[in-house]
Structure 1
Amino acid sequence: METSTDRRAFLGRFRNALNSGEYALLKHVVGSLEQGEQGSDVDVLVPRERVPELIQFVKSDEAVARVRVVALSYMSTLKVFFRDGGFLMIDFIHRFIRKSLIYLDARDLLRSADGAFERTPSVDRAFEYPFLFSLLNGADLPEKYRRHVLGLSPEDQRLVLSRINERYGLSASHVSELFLFDEARRRRVIAAILRRPENRPTQRVFRLGSYALDVLTRARRENRGIVVTFYGADGSGKSTILEDVARELRERYRKRVVILRHRPGLLPILSAFIHGKAEAEARSMARLPRTGKNRSRLSSLARFAYYFSDYAVGQWVVFAKHSLRGDIVLYDRYFLDFVVDAKRSNIRLSPRFVSAFGSLLATPAFNFLLYAPPDVVRQRKQELAIEDIEELTAGYRREFERLKARKPDCVFMAVENLDRSQTVARIMGTLVEAL
Structure 2
Amino acid sequence: MEHIFNKLGYEISLKKENQTDVAIAMLSINNPDGTPRWIWDAACNKPLFLKFYNVGSQRALLFATAIKLVFMLKLQKLVFKKNTYYLSKTDHKLVNLQTDWALFTGTVGPNNKAILYANQSFYKIATTKNAQTLIHDEHLMLEKVNASSTTFITPKTTQISNDVIQLTDISNNGSRVKNIMSSHLNALTEMYQMENKIIKASAWDQFIHLTTDFKTINDHRIPKNMVRKIDLILQAIPADELVELSLSQGDFTQWNMFEKNGKLSIYDWELAGSNKPKAFDYFHFIIQNGVLVDHKPWKDIYAEIIQSFQGDFAKELFNSDLDELNNYLKWYLLINCMHYLKVYADQPKWHVQIHWLLQVWNEALNTFLVAEKTPRELIIMDLFDAIQNQEYAALKFQDGFPEKLSLQSDIDLVITKEMSDLLIQMLKNHALVSKMTSCKRSFMNTIQVFTHGADILSVDLIWQLKRRNLEILDAEQVISKNEMNNYGVKNASSIDTARYVVMFYILNGAKIPAKYLGYEAAISSSKESIDLIISGYFSNLYKDKAPLQQLIRQYTSNKGFNFIKNTWNYMIDTVKNSKKSNGFVVTFSGVDGAGKSTVIENIAIRIEKQFRRKVVVLRHRPSVLPILSVWTKGKEKAHQDSISSLPRQGKNSSSISSLLRFAYYYCDYLFGQFVIYFKHIAKGHVVIYDRYYFDFINDSKRSNIVLPKSISRFGYHLLLKPKFNFFLFADANIILSRKKELSKETIESLTKEYTQLFHSLQANSHSAVYMPINNIDLETTLNQIIKTVNVD
Interval containing the TM-score (normalised by the shorter chain): 0.7 to 0.9
What's the secondary structure of 2:760's corresponding residue? helix
Q: How does 1:98-247 map to 2 (within 5 A)?
A: 98-115=467-484, 117-146=488-517, 148-149=518-519, 152=521, 156-159=522-525, 162-163=527-528, 166-167=529-530, 170=533, 172=535, 176-177=538-539, 182-183=543-544, 186-200=545-559, 203-221=562-580, 223-247=581-605
**Following the alignment from structure 1 to structure 2, what is the Cα–Cα distance between the partners of residues 84 and 122?**
34
Name which of structure 1's ranges 329-338 and 79-88 shifts more when overlaid on structure 2.
Answer: 79-88
What's the secondary structure of 1:384's corresponding residue? coil
Number of aligned residue pairs: give it. 420
**Following the alignment from structure 2 to structure 1, what is the Cα–Cα distance between the partners of residues 535 and 460?**
31
Query: What letter matches 2:569 in structure 1?
Result: S
What do residues 291-333 of structure 1 show as CA deviations (whole Å, max 9, x unaligned)?
A: 2122333322322222122212221222223223333222111
What do residues 262-286 of structure 1 show as CA deviations (whole Å, max 9, x unaligned)?
A: 0112222111222222321221222
Contact 2:726–2:771 (8 Å) recurs in 1: yes
CA drift of 1:255 comes to 4.2
4+ aligned runs moved over 6 Å, structure 1: none
* 1:67 maps onto 2:436 in alignment: yes
What's the secondary structure of 1:415's corresponding residue? strand
**Following the alignment from structure 2 to structure 1, what is the Cα–Cα distance between the partners of residues 513 and 534?**
22
**Following the alignment from structure 2 to structure 1, what is the Cα–Cα distance between the partners of residues 427 and 610?**
19
2:445 paired residue number: 76
Contact 1:371–1:414 (8 Å) recurs in 2: yes
Query: What letter matches 1:144 in structure 2?
Result: K
Contact 1:140–1:181 (8 Å) recurs in 2: no
Contact 1:169–1:192 (8 Å) recurs in 2: no
What do residues 67-92 of structure 1 show as CA deviations (whole Å, max 9, x unaligned)?
A: 21211110011112233333321111
Listed as ranges, the gaps of 5+ residues in structure 2 are: 1-370
**Following the alignment from structure 2 to structure 1, what is the Cα–Cα distance between the partners of residues 593 and 483?**
57
2:51 paired residue number: none
What's the secondary structure of 1:162's corresponding residue? coil
What do residues 319-349 of structure 1 show as CA deviations (whole Å, max 9, x unaligned)?
A: 2232233332221111111111222111222
Name which of structure 1's ranges 136-145 and 187-196 shifts more when overlaid on structure 2.
Answer: 187-196
Between Structure 1 and Structure 2, which shows a larger proportion of helix residues? 1
Q: How does 1:3-82 map to 2 (within 5 A)?
A: 5-82=374-451
**Following the alignment from structure 1 to structure 2, what is the Cα–Cα distance between the partners of residues 71 and 252?**
18
**Following the alignment from structure 1 to structure 2, what is the Cα–Cα distance between the partners of residues 361 and 299?**
23
Query: What letter matches 1:249 in structure 2?
Result: I
2:456 paired residue number: 87
Contact 1:3–1:38 (8 Å) recurs in 2: no
CA drift of 1:206 comes to 4.1
Query: What letter matches 2:570 in structure 1?
Result: Y
1:411 paired residue number: 769
Contact 1:272–1:280 (8 Å) recurs in 2: yes
CA drift of 1:35 comes to 4.1
Contact 1:315–1:362 (8 Å) recurs in 2: yes
Contact 2:673–2:720 (8 Å) recurs in 1: yes
Structure number with greater CO (CA < 8 Å, separation at least 6) is 1
TM-score of the superposed pair, with normalisation by structure 2: 0.50
Note closer, same or farther for the CA distance 1:391–1:82 as it changes in structure 2 (3 Å cut). Answer: closer
Contact 1:79–1:88 (8 Å) recurs in 2: yes
What do residues 47-69 of structure 1 show as CA deviations (whole Å, max 9, x unaligned)?
A: 22221112122223343333212
CA drift of 1:257 comes to 2.4
**Following the alignment from structure 1 to structure 2, what is the Cα–Cα distance between the partners of residues 47 and 421?**
38
2:96 paired residue number: none
Query: What letter matches 2:481 in structure 1?
Result: S
Note closer, same or farther for the CA distance 1:94–1:322 as it changes in structure 2 (3 Å cut). Answer: same
Query: What letter matches 1:149 in structure 2?
Result: Y
Structure with greater Cα Rg: 2
Note closer, same or farther for the CA distance 1:374–1:181 as it changes in structure 2 (3 Å cut). Answer: farther
Contact 1:369–1:414 (8 Å) recurs in 2: yes
**Following the alignment from structure 1 to structure 2, what is the Cα–Cα distance between the partners of residues 115 and 419?**
40
CA drift of 1:253 comes to 4.7
**Following the alignment from structure 1 to structure 2, what is the Cα–Cα distance between the partners of residues 376 and 170?**
59
Contact 1:11–1:33 (8 Å) recurs in 2: yes
CA drift of 1:197 comes to 3.0
Note closer, same or farther for the CA distance 1:351–1:32 as it changes in structure 2 (3 Å cut). Answer: same
What's the secondary structure of 1:303's corresponding residue? helix
Contact 2:495–2:519 (8 Å) recurs in 1: no
**Following the alignment from structure 1 to structure 2, what is the Cα–Cα distance between the partners of residues 321 and 3?**
44
**Following the alignment from structure 1 to structure 2, what is the Cα–Cα distance between the partners of residues 3 and 280?**
52
TM-score of the superposed pair, with normalisation by structure 1: 0.87
Contact 1:78–1:90 (8 Å) recurs in 2: yes
Identity rate, percent: 34
Instruction: Give the counterpart of 1:399 among 732, 752, 757.
Output: 757
Query: What letter matches 1:162 in structure 2?
Result: K
* C-alpha RMSD over aligned residues: 2.7
**Following the alignment from structure 2 to structure 1, what is the Cα–Cα distance between the partners of residues 495 and 594?**
54
**Following the alignment from structure 2 to structure 1, what is the Cα–Cα distance between the partners of residues 665 and 542?**
43
CA drift of 1:354 comes to 1.9
Contact 1:246–1:257 (8 Å) recurs in 2: yes
**Following the alignment from structure 1 to structure 2, what is the Cα–Cα distance between the partners of residues 244 and 31?**
26
What do residues 160-216 of structure 1 show as CA deviations (whole Å, max 9, x unaligned)?
A: x533xx13773957x7315x9722xx1121122223333236543443342233234
2:673 paired residue number: 315
**Following the alignment from structure 1 to structure 2, what is the Cα–Cα distance between the partners of residues 106 and 393?**
57
Listed as ranges, the gaps of 5+ residues in structure 1 are: none
1:295 paired residue number: 653
Query: What letter matches 2:440 in structure 1?
Result: A
Contact 2:408–2:606 (8 Å) recurs in 1: no
**Following the alignment from structure 2 to structure 1, what is the Cα–Cα distance between the partners of residues 774 and 494?**
53
Note closer, same or farther for the CA distance 1:238–1:32 as it changes in structure 2 (3 Å cut). Answer: closer
